Structure 1
Amino acid sequence: MSRVEVEALGERAWLLRLGEGIDAGCNRRVHALARHIREQAPAWLEDLIPAYASLAVVLRIDAVEARTQARDWLVACVESPQPPDEAIAEPVEVPVLYGGDAGPDLPAMAEALGLSVEGIIQRHANGDYLVAMLGFAPGFPYLLGLDPALAMPRLDSPRTSVPAGSVGIGGHQTGVYPRAGAGGWRLLGRTPLQLFDARREQPALLQPGDRVRFAPVDAGRFAELARSPGGIDAD
């Protein structure tokens, strides 16, 4: 693993920088390092927050000497090769109703990209995605693995309201809005799943390092899943 840069985040956290920008290989190293640290379970570890090219390590301690020891331990972890995953986890299937009111940007995307609406749906649903990180809003997954032919810049003027469950494309990434709110990604569909629920033991449905596959559904199936436990209309 390449040399790491370590920065202090306040008095109880270290930020480990493994690279720069959006790079799938670097992101895999971030998740491998996070997995290794969790497996070692040092007593001072409180939380790990993976990003595209960095890992924030939150400590239970704030004493200077203890923080320094934790830093040295983390640097040693980075400099030690991490074993590859012995088993590839099954992807989380995320049903999506593509097009229509659920995907208002599909027609304009098809025209801009020189593809049919059906072609965009097929390419998007055929992707094998990795949750690179959570951010922007609680439970919002930034997904790597988008077909390069589907890359589109964000809207010039963000929408003031995006429905919960909306699936969008922003640059070379795809993602899902867990809650209603403003946003500028191109919307091509909507999932009936509730991606974030603070009442659940694990509030975020998708976690950093998870694999994801999108599965097209029709309006009837969308409504059924939305009303079922774990759906956006279940309450």
Structure 2
Amino acid sequence: MTAQKIIACGDDAYRLIPSDNHQRHSIAEALRSSDVWDEVVVGRESVTVQYDPCETPPEVARTHILSAMDQADLAQQEIGSSITLRMRIDEKSAPELAACAKANGLPVDAFLDRITRSDLIVDMLGFAPGFAYVSGVDDTLAGQRLEHPRQLTHAGSVGFIQGFLGIYALDGPGGWPVIGRISERLFDKTSQDPVLLAPGTRIKLEVSQ
């Protein structure tokens, strides 16, 4: 396995840019199996690792990177776990669904079919606790952020912009058009892992009324 680029970031970090963007999570999993790294962070187009140069010289760190990349089983794309989520699409749960479908010249059912047939994967978490950026959405579907963001977007809401879904784990402000709401609980503060979705998780959406 090879990365398109391995870039030194100062004297204690490297940034890896894979030749295939979908390989980021597989590479990160392989890297995390080593105790060399202080931190492994998956970004939109890269993986960044940080290490202690007093314990691991840069050339040794680079060797560990190459070894980890060789170990990652990209052929099988074992990127992470998978989960099926139920998405409600009643008017209250999906206030912009009809408008998004109309903007793409599609009936609602056809628009949703294109969404649910997409190869959905949690790209990363950010913006707010547990907010999942989900990539893989059919990029022929157009969608833009709301002109006037909401003060309150309910937990479980599924936002849509071109190429992405944004899944809100908690109530909060939001600027994505909402096309549905997840029935499952996405954040549970009493759980050892309070956030249900993690980077690399593959998602299958099932639509319910």
When normalised by structure 2's length, the TM-score is: 0.83
| 2:86 corresponds to | 95
Q: Which residue of 2 aligns with 1:205?
A: 196
Q: Secondary structure at the match of 1:66?
A: coil
User: Post-superposition shift, 1:128?
Assistant: 2.6
Secondary structure of the residue that 1:188 maps to in structure 2? Answer: strand
| 1:68 and 2:58 are equivalent in the alignment | yes
What is the correspondence of 1:128-139 to structure 2 with a 5 Å cutoff? 128-139=119-130
1:131–1:208: 8 Å Cα contact kept in structure 2? Answer: yes
List runs of 5+ in structure 1 lacking aligned partners: 20-24, 219-235
Q: Tell whether 2:29 aligns with 1:35.
A: yes
The CA distance in 1 between the partners of 2:142 and 2:60, in whole Å, is: 40
How many equivalent pairs are there? 206
> 2: distance between equivalents of 1:70 and 1:151?
45
- Report which of the two has the higher share of strand: 2
1:65 Cα deviation from its structure 2 partner: 5.2
- Identify if the C-alpha distance between structure 1 residues 43 and 128 changes in structure 2 by more than 3 Å, giving closer, same or farther: closer
What's the TM-score, normalizing by structure 1? 0.75
Cα root mean square deviation, aligned:
2.7
Measured at CA, do residues 181 and 44 of structure 1 come closer, stay the same or move farther in structure 2, by a change above 3 Å? same
Residue by residue over 1:175-229, the C-alpha shift from the partner in whole angstroms, topping out at 9 and shown as x without a partner, is: 21111111111100001222233432222212211211101123xxxxxxxxxxx
Identity over aligned pairs, percent:
28
Give the letter aligned to residue 76 of structure 1. L
Give the superposition deviation at 1:110.
2.3
Structure 2: 5+ residue runs without aligned partners? none
1:158 maps to 2:160 = no
Distance 1:147 1:102, change over 3 A: same
8 Å CA contact 2:116, 2:206 repeated in 1: yes
SS of residue in 1 equivalent to 2:195:
coil
